Structure 1
Amino acid sequence: MFERFSGDARRTVVQAQHEARGLGHGRIGTVHLLLGLLDPGDEPPTAPAARALREHGATTDTVRRAAREGAPAPGRHPRPGRLFGTHIPFSKRAKKALELSLREALRFDRRWIDGAHILLGVLRTDGTAVWALERAGVDADALRRTAERIARTPDRPR
């Protein structure tokens, strides 16, 4: 599936893995994908999904804080040795969000999956990421509309 991901989308997934590891979580969840979208590595963000998130009031700090509050304590992870390995698995909801990102790209007749499609997939799963956004005061419906507008832009991998 990742062969259809733009550079922006690939960076999101790599950053999500870093976020999960940094928070001491044993799986990459939807909130980690959201954090990956928020932190594209450039300030101010040039990735459209990151800009949309920030425009709607989501910041890395507020979402990370909500992720800490809403996730199980790191010490409770059943296999803590996996945290520091080379691979952290995706949660079922994160897998679903990535599958939905492909559907979103196809819905907008795009050849590439980019950050806006991942954001739409995350929003459709209604998991921890949506809860974190609500805790941060973000209107998920308004964010979804913005992400759909971004997804309609011309197809070019970033």
Structure 2
Amino acid sequence: MMFELFTPEARTVVVQAQQHAGRLGHRYVGPEHLLLSVASAGGPVGVVLRDNGITPDRVEEEIVRRGGLGGGTGLFSDLDQDALAAIGIDLDAVRARIEAAFSPEVLTRAAETLHPQPRPSRLNPRRAIPPGLRRWAQRRRLALTAHRGRALPAPIPPATGRYHAPGAATRTHLPFTTRAKKCLELTVREAKARHEQHIGVEHLVLGLIRTNGGLVPSVLLALGTSGPLLRTAILDRYRQAG
């Protein structure tokens, strides 16, 4: 399984991203939820993010400001608020008019149509990985398990934060959006390019900040940084550690 290549810290990031999405009442896992999760990560990459203003509280504030809370937010999850504002479209005003015109149940059903609930097997990140990279990961997994015994994974603590959608519960069976799946693919590519035998939080972040659309670039910009700047800082930190 692809997930076996993830370090315990990286597994925690992916699982807690799903918990954050459920807590915010979102019925999908997008790159923004992964960003919120990695912002809480420890280790060198967590230090780099926080040194650049990427903290859990600030990321969550931007996600809620741009995407809102509740089941209907899936209708707006792939929209770029800043890009729409540049052409005169106020996404907040549009969302307010839609939410005033339709009941929460109708909005939730519409969001579920856009992001249908998956079978549990779709939660496995390997589903987002092309066959070529999957074969590479299989070889790495076999090499790793040949040198270590299988140990039961440590319990993953629940994700916490300031905001909670009304009636929301922490959910783990949520579908990854297309952009989130692309981030996972880029994560594996980052590990492969560096000839690493594991997939760590640093690879997740490097894959995540390569995304061009969705909320992540605009959240980073609002927090005073960008994907390229963070990439340089992360690579420099790991180069020094090496």
The bucket for the TM-score relative to the shorter chain is 0.7 to 0.9
Whole-Å Cα distance in 1 between the matches of residues 189 and 47 of structure 2? 22
Q: TM-score, normalised by structure 2?
A: 0.56
Q: TM-score, normalised by structure 1?
A: 0.83
Whole-Å Cα distance in 2 between the matches of residues 94 and 60 of structure 1? 18
- Note if 1:14 corresponds to 2:100: no
Q: Verify the 8 A CA contact 2:22 2:172 in the aligned structure 1.
A: no
Q: Verify the 8 A CA contact 1:56 1:139 in the aligned structure 2.
A: no
Question: 1:107 pairs with 180, 193, 202, which one?
Answer: 193
Report the counterpart of residue 43 of structure 1 in structure 2.
none
Q: Verify the 8 A CA contact 2:19 2:172 in the aligned structure 1.
A: no
Whole-Å Cα distance in 1 between the matches of residues 26 and 236 of structure 2? 33
1:22-80 C-alpha deviation (Å, 9 max, x unpaired): 1111111101101111123xxxxx32221111011111111101111222652424239
Whole-Å Cα distance in 2 between the matches of residues 140 and 96 of structure 1? 15
Whole-Å Cα distance in 2 between the matches of residues 96 and 47 of structure 1? 24
Q: Verify the 8 A CA contact 2:36 2:60 in the aligned structure 1.
A: yes
1:94-140 C-alpha deviation (Å, 9 max, x unpaired): 11001100000111110111111111111111231221111111243
Secondary structure of 2:230's counterpart equals: helix
CA positional deviation for 1:150: 4.5
Q: Verify the 8 A CA contact 1:108 1:151 in the aligned structure 2.
A: no
CA positional deviation for 1:147: 2.2
- Note if 1:141 corresponds to 2:228: yes
Report the counterpart of residue 4 of structure 2 in structure 1.
3
Equivalences, count = 149
Q: Which moved more, 1:78-87 or 1:93-102?
A: 78-87
Secondary structure of 1:98's counterpart equals: helix
Sequence identity percentage = 36
Question: 2:70 pairs with 69, 74, 80, which one?
Answer: 74
